[in-house]
C-alpha cells in the first residue's frame, strides 16, 4: 500500500527530473483531442505535471510493460473537466514520459484528497 509520503517523494523526484531532462508526451489521439478541445499546448503539460500534489494521486506504481519501470496515475481539473494523467519516471538520465493526458473516461478516485 502506497503511503502519502511515497507519493510526495515520487513527485519531488519527478519534478527534479523534468527540470533536468524534460518530458516526452506520448503522441496519442486521446491526448491530442483533449489538448485541442481545451486549447492548450503540449508545453503546458509540463506545468500541469509540475503542479501535481499528493492529493492528485489516484493509483500506482503499476508495472509498465511498454516503457519499462512503472507508471503512476493522477488527476486534475481543467475547465471543470477531470483530466487523467499517467506518468512514467522514465529511464535513467532520460526524460519523464507522460503516457496519458486526456479527459477521464471514468470517475477518478483520489487516495489522499482532503
* Residue 8 burial (C-beta neighbours within 10 Å; 0-12, 13-18, 19+): middle
CATH number at residue 30: 3.30.2310.40
Q: Does 61 map to a domain?
A: yes
Tens of pLDDT, residue by residue, the chain (114 residues): 899 999 999 999 999 999 999 999 999 999 999 999 999 988 899 999 999 999 999 999 999 999 999 999 999 999 999 999 999 999 999 999 999 999 999 999 999 987
For residue 46, give Cα distances in angstroms to 1, 4, 19, 49, 112.
28, 22, 10, 5, 22
pTM, 2 dp: 0.95
CA distance 84 to 88: 14
Residue 112: inside a domain, yes or no? no
Domain containing 52 equals: 4-103
List helix spans (H) across the chain. Answer: 4-21, 29-38, 42-50
Q: What pLDDT score was predicted for residue 58?
A: 98
Q: Which pLDDT value is given to residue 114?
A: 76
User: Are residues 76 and 52 in contact, defined by beta-carbon separation less than 8 angstroms?
Assistant: yes
Is 110 part of a structural domain of the chain?
Answer: no
Question: How many structural domains comprise the chain?
Answer: 1
Amino acid at each position: 500500500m502506497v503511503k502519502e509520503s511515497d507519493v510526495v517523494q515520487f513527485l519531488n523526484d519527478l519534478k527534479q527530473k523534468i527540470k533536468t531532462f524534460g518530458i516526452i508526451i506520448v503522441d496519442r489521439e486521446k491526448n491530442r483531442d483533449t489538448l485541442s478541445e481545451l486549447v492548450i499546448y503540449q508545453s503546458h503539460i509540463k506545468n500541469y505535471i509540475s503542479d501535481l500534489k499528493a492529493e492528485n494521486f489516484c493509483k500506482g506504481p503499476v508495472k509498465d510493460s511498454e516503457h519499462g519501470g512503472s507508471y503512476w496515475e493522477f488527476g486534475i481539473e481543467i475547465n471543470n473537466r477531470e483530466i487523467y494523467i499517467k506518468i512514467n519516471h522514465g529511464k535513467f538520465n532520460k526524460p519523464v514520459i507522460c503516457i496519458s493526458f486526456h479527459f477521464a473516461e471514468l470517475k477518478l478516485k483520489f487516495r489522499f484528497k482532503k
